């Protein structure tokens, strides 16, 4: 990401010249966009126990437009690279791709402030990057290499960054943690809001309802975000959930339904949530209706419980990147050349990170017994052969 | 490396070298030893363990009209396809998907079984069973006892894939048998291949106490045997002696049995000794007689399991063996286990109690 910023800055610098007077607009092959901002109507939100919802018109500057486009593109690219690395058997084990759902994370991140925090489930590669980890940090973790955000010790699902309390591999387990993180925001008065994300499958886990209750009881600044991609593993939402109005399932917690394929809808809704939660009104439930193109994980072809036509139709009519791209172009917030330039830069960064993910070293075997405890009272870790313990070492920084 | 292993580092260094020399990451750490003896006479078919489990559930659904099979995604067979084709054959009322809610699955199964139906629940991975822990421990295991025998949920069997699979990482590799072995009222069973899986699963389904059936997931497709086609059961609570010898007793369950069978073969070739190899099969209740008779004969014992050493089920075996066989023991009971560390993503080959580690423990025991 950091590598990408200068390029965007350069693009924008070029753009800013044209913004005011827009002399370039008169030439037929304009390389840079001509409009500085545009407004967009957002598909109506559905509200539960709320009198007023998020703004239904979103204003987008060309600067933000390029940034959002780049983030969408980089996540899609990371997931394509992950899928390929998995097929090459370089990523082993479990791998859950986010392709199709990018607008949720990118839109939310655009509205979030530095003090806000996120916790999500196992579809976490994109979020990890948006929260500050480099592309290489994500891909190297997936291949179990030292540059990985968890030094390769976690692998897929176990990704972390500042204010990003992780991917979590146990369905629904992160939701109560989110309530806990939110309590910390409230208690310390740092003004932050926690976004606890889960899927439509996890929406049926009991602990989610325990978390709802505590959050409302104590009016915690937490937004329970249900990323509804239609399928909990291989079971469609209609066959798993008695009520598929996930935004209303907090009962006594107000909720919002959002078109999760529209990055601007996600951004505006998140802005509203932050305003709501920081005003002391307590938690919200936000349902993001979205779609995943891949199977649940890499071992699921994703076609035994839905048709290929269905996936194809979403790709053609609702793809979060294609639709956003069309918006930018038709409103002249960006030119095809600008977007192409971003695409090629993104490709370069992800390709470079992919290369590193294949060649980077693994951590030494001494780390098998590292960081199990803060301090090991008995400095030795038992196991395998009697009387041949491993030495407990501290590698990661202690808080 | 020197700081890593305080003793016997030579072996560890060799192991690291062996692993590093492999161009591909190890996907399996054992050779599969198929069962050659048929438990019953009659026609057999080649099946892998997934198919044998499928066959056991198929037979149950066919012969027991109250039987139902349910779990996450079992409608299309489940992630490991053990229920493949059963919904088409027996209908959506009897083979069905549940929401993703392990506590609910267990509780639902307990209620169903208590009311008289044969309930076969699948928890998608044994690592996901912990949300259901309370239901299994406090409801399933105790209902007969606390209702004074008025109710029981013996018709409940919970199946869960467990153990190392080559690349599972922290949440798809654990072996939780010891957690459940601490709970009177439950039965905990682990098969070692297709023949035992079919016979033991049918026993679990018909057993009048709730059973937890932990299936070593790496064996689903890698283990193939000639499995009897007809219905048969294998006794619960009984261990099986697979090789006989007088030098030492090697005890394992699940995948680890195959590691120990290879260790016994290596010991015969390299050390010129023969060992008893015991597949415990039933973790709770376990077969104390078979184990102690063997150890009294050999005087030496090595126990191996994938779960961490501390409070692993090997601890219970070792404690009982020293109590029952004290005067027969020529060496301390030895345990070879996973490290007391979370199951590591990149270090699986170093984490497992593989044949080299077991052979080293056996050698030490023999030379004690």
For B246-302, write each residue's pLDDT tens digit.
Answer: 999 999 999 999 999 999 999 999 999 999 999 999 999 999 999 999 999 999 999
Please judge whether B340 and A157 are an interchain contact, meaning their C-beta atoms are less than 8 angstroms apart. Answer: no
Q: Identify whether residues B202 and B287 lie together within a single domain.
A: no
Is the pLDDT at B139 greater than 90? The verdict is yes
Instruction: Calculate mean pLDDT across residues B144-154.
Output: 90
Q: Identify whether residues B330 and B185 lie together within a single domain.
A: no
Instruction: Calculate mean pLDDT across residues A165-170.
Output: 90
Are B330 and B299 in contact by the 8 Å Cβ rule? The answer is yes
Q: Is residue B35 part of a domain?
A: no
Pick the residue with more confidence: B349 or A131?
A: A131
Q: Identify whether residues B261 and B213 lie together within a single domain.
A: no
pLDDT the model gives residue A384: 67
pLDDT the model gives residue A94: 87
pLDDT confidence band for B9 (50 / 70 / 90): very low
What is the CATH classification number for the domain harbouring A203? 3.40.50.970
State how far the Cα of A224 lies from the Cα of A179, in Å rounded to an integer: 9
- Nearest Cα to Cα of residue A120 among A200, A180, A207, A196: A196
Q: Is residue B233 part of a domain?
A: no
State how far the Cα of A321 lies from the Cα of A56, in Å rounded to an integer: 20
Q: Identify whether residues B131 and B49 lie together within a single domain.
A: yes
Residues 244-263 of chain B with CB under 8 A from chain A are none
Nearest neighbour of A206 by CB, restricted to B101, B310, B344: B101
Q: Identify whether residues B191 and B57 lie together within a single domain.
A: yes
Is the pLDDT at B76 greater than 50? The verdict is yes
Q: Identify whether residues A384 and A303 lie together within a single domain.
A: no
- Say whether residue B317 is in contact with chain A using an 8 A CB cutoff: no
pLDDT the model gives residue A3: 44
Q: Identify whether residues B152 and B280 lie together within a single domain.
A: no
pLDDT confidence band for A7 (50 / 70 / 90): very low
Q: Identify whether residues B156 and B262 lie together within a single domain.
A: no
Q: Is residue B1 part of a domain?
A: no
Is the pLDDT at B309 greater than 70? The verdict is yes
pLDDT the model gives residue A30: 53
pLDDT confidence band for A394 (50 / 70 / 90): confident
Percent of chain B topping pLDDT 90: 87
Q: Identify whether residues B268 and B141 lie together within a single domain.
A: no
Are A336 and A66 in contact by the 8 Å Cβ rule? The answer is no
pLDDT the model gives residue B10: 41
Is the pLDDT at B80 greater than 90? The verdict is yes
Domain span at residue B292 reads: 9-28+238-366
Alpha carbon B27 to its chain's center = 19
pLDDT the model gives residue B1: 33
Q: Identify whether residues B201 and B57 lie together within a single domain.
A: yes
pLDDT the model gives residue A52: 95
Please judge whether B350 and A365 are an interchain contact, meaning their C-beta atoms are less than 8 angstroms apart. Answer: yes
Q: Identify whether residues A266 and A380 lie together within a single domain.
A: no
pLDDT the model gives residue A304: 87
Beta-bridge partner residues of A338? none
Burial of B92 (0-12, 13-18, 19+ CB in 10 A): exposed
pLDDT the model gives residue A341: 96
Q: How many domains does chain A have?
A: 2
Give me B235's structure tokens: 């006794």
Instruction: Calculate mean pLDDT across residues A119-123.
Output: 96
Q: Identify whether residues B246 and B304 lie together within a single domain.
A: yes
pLDDT confidence band for A156 (50 / 70 / 90): confident
Instruction: Calculate mean pLDDT across residues B195-212.
Output: 97
Question: 3-class SS at B229?
Answer: coil
What is the CATH classification number for the domain harbouring B165? 3.40.50.970
Is the pLDDT at A91 greater than 50? The verdict is yes
What are the residues whose beta carbons fall under 8 Å from the beta carbon of A69, sequence distance 6 or more?
A: A321, A324, A325, A328, A334, A339, A342
Residues of chain B positioned with their CB less than 8 A from the CB of A389 = 6
Tens of pLDDT along B205-222? 999 999 999 999 999 999
Please judge whether B104 and A157 are an interchain contact, meaning their C-beta atoms are less than 8 angstroms apart. Answer: no
- Nearest Cα to Cα of residue A288 among A363, A212, A199, A219: A199
Instruction: Calculate mean pLDDT across residues B310-315.
Output: 96
- Say whether residue A243 is in contact with chain B using an 8 A CB cutoff: no
Domain span at residue A35 reads: 4-359
Q: Identify whether residues A395 and A319 lie together within a single domain.
A: no
Q: Identify whether residues A110 and A48 lie together within a single domain.
A: yes
pLDDT the model gives residue A386: 57
pLDDT the model gives residue A15: 39
ipTM: 0.74
Tens of pLDDT along A274-289? 999 999 999 999 999 9
Is the pLDDT at B5 greater than 60? The verdict is no
pLDDT the model gives residue B148: 84
Is the pLDDT at B17 greater than 60? The verdict is no
> What pTM was computed for the model?
0.83
pLDDT the model gives residue A390: 86
- Say whether residue A305 is in contact with chain B using an 8 A CB cutoff: yes
Tens of pLDDT along B19-64? 434 334 445 789 999 998 899 999 999 999 999 999 999 999 999 9
> Which of B341, B352, B362 to probe by mutation at the A interface, max A CB count within 10 Å?
B341
Question: Looking at A105-109, A318-322, B148-152, which range is the least confident one?
Answer: B148-152
Are B150 and B102 in contact by the 8 Å Cβ rule? The answer is no
State how far the Cα of B339 lies from the Cα of B341, in Å rounded to an integer: 5
Q: What is the DSSP letter of A333?
A: S
pLDDT the model gives residue B144: 92
Q: Is residue B48 part of a domain?
A: yes
Is the pLDDT at B16 greater than 70? The verdict is no
Please judge whether A381 and B344 are an interchain contact, meaning their C-beta atoms are less than 8 angstroms apart. Answer: no
Are B304 and B335 in contact by the 8 Å Cβ rule? The answer is yes
Percent of chain B topping pLDDT 70: 93
Question: 3-class SS at B270?
Answer: helix
Instruction: Calculate mean pLDDT across residues A85-110.
Output: 95
pLDDT confidence band for B8 (50 / 70 / 90): very low
Tens of pLDDT along A292-322? 999 999 888 888 899 999 999 999 999 999 9
- Say whether residue A87 is in contact with chain B using an 8 A CB cutoff: no
Alpha carbon A152 to its chain's center = 20
pLDDT the model gives residue B124: 96
Q: Is residue B2 part of a domain?
A: no
Tens of pLDDT along A198-243? 999 999 999 999 999 999 999 999 999 999 999 999 999 999 999 9
Q: Is residue B37 part of a domain?
A: no
Q: Identify whether residues A334 and A386 lie together within a single domain.
A: no
Q: Name the minimum distance, in Å, from the CA of A382 to any CA of chain B.
A: 6
Q: What is the DSSP letter of A363?
A: P
Are B353 and B338 in contact by the 8 Å Cβ rule? The answer is yes
Q: How many domains does chain B have?
A: 2
> Which of A232, A388, A391 to probe by mutation at the B interface, max B CB count within 10 Å?
A388
């Amino acid at each position: 990401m950091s590598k990408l910023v200068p390029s965007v800055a350069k693009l924008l610098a070029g753009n800013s010249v044209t913004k005011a007077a827009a002399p370039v607009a008169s030439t037929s092959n304009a390389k840079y966009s001509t409009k500085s901002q545009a407004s967009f109507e957002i598909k109506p939100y559905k509200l539960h126990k709320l009198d007023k919802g998020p703004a239904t018109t979103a204003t987008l500057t060309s600067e933000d437009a390029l940034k959002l486009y780049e983030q969408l593109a980089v996540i899609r690219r990371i997931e394509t690279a992950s899928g390929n690395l998995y097929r090459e058997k370089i990523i082993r084990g479990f791998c859950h791709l986010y392709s199709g759902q990018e607008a949720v994370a990118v839109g939310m991140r655009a509205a979030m402030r530095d003090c806000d925090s996120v916790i999500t489930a196992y579809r976490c590669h994109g979020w990890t990057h948006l929260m500050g980890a480099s592309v290489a940090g994500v891909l190297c973790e997936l291949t179990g290499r030292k540059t990985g955000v968890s030094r390769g010790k976690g692998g897929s699902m176990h990704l972390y960054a500042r204010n990003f309390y992780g991917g979590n591999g146990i369905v629904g387990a992160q939701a109560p943690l989110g309530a806990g993180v939110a309590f910390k925001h409230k208690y310390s008065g740092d003004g932050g809001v926690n976004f606890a994300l889960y899927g439509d499958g996890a929406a049926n886990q009991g602990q989610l309802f325990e978390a709802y209750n505590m959050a409302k009881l104590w009016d915690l600044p937490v937004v329970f975000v249900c990323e509804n991609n239609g399928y909990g593993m291989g079971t469609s939402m209609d066959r798993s959930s008695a009520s598929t109005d996930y935004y209303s399932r907090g009962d006594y917690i107000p909720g919002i339904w959002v078109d999760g394929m529209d990055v601007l809808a996600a951004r505006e809704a998140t802005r509203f949530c932050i305003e709501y939660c920081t005003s002391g009104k307590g938690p919200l439930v936000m349902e993001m209706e979205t779609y995943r193109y891949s199977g649940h994980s890499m071992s699921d072809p994703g076609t035994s419980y839905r048709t290929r036509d269905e996936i194809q139709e979403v790709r053609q009519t609702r793809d979060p990147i294609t639709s956003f791209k069309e918006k930018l172009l038709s409103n002249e917030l960006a030119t095809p050349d600008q977007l192409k330039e971003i695409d090629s830069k993104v490709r370069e960064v992800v390709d470079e990170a992919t290369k590193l993910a294949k060649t980077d070293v693994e951590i030494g075997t001494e780390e098998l017994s590292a960081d199990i405890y803060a301090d090991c009272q008995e400095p030795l870790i038992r196991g395998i052969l009697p009387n041949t313990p491993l030495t407990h070492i501290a590698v990661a920084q202690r808080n | 490396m020197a700081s890593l292993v305080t003793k016997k580092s030579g072996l560890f260094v060799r192991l690291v070298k062996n692993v590093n020399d492999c161009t591909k990451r190890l996907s399996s750490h054992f050779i599969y030893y198929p069962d050659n003896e048929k438990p019953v006479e009659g026609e057999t078919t080649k099946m892998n363990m997934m198919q044998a489990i499928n066959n056991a559930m198929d037979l149950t659904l066919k012969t027991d009209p109250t039987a139902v099979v349910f779990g996450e995604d079992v409608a299309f067979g489940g992630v490991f396809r053990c229920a493949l084709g059963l919904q088409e054959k027996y209908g959506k009322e009897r083979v069905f998907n549940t929401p993703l809610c392990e506590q609910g699955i267990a509780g639902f199964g307990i209620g169903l079984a208590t009311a008289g139906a044969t309930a076969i629940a699948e928890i998608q991975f044994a690592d996901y069973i912990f949300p259901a822990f309370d239901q299994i421990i406090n409801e399933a295991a105790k209902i007969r006892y606390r209702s004074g025998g008025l109710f029981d949920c013996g018709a409940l069997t919970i199946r869960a894939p467990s153990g190392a699979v080559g690349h599972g990482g922290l949440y798809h590799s654990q072996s939780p048998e010891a957690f459940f072995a601490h709970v009177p009222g439950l039965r905990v069973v682990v098969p070692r291949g297709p023949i035992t899986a079919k016979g033991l699963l049918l026993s679990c389904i018909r057993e009048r106490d709730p059973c937890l059936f932990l299936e070593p997931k790496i064996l689903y497709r890698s283990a193939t045997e000639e499995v009897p086609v007809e219905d048969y059961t294998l006794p619960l609570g009984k261990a099986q002696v697979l090789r006989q010898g007088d030098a030492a007793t090697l005890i394992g369950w699940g995948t680890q049995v195959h590691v120990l069978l290879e260790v016994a073969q290596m010991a015969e070739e390299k050390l010129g000794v023969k060992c008893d190899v015991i597949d415990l099969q039933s973790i709770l209740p376990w077969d104390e007689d078979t184990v102690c008779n063997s150890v009294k004969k050999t005087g030496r014992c090595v126990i191996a399991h994938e779960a961490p050493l501390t409070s692993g089920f090997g601890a219970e075996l070792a404690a009982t063996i020293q109590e029952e066989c004290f005067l027969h023991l020529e060496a301390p009971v030895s345990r070879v286990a996973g490290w007391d560390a979370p199951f590591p993503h990149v270090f699986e080959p170093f984490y497992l109690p593989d044949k080299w580690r077991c052979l080293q423990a056996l050698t030490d025991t023999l030379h004690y």
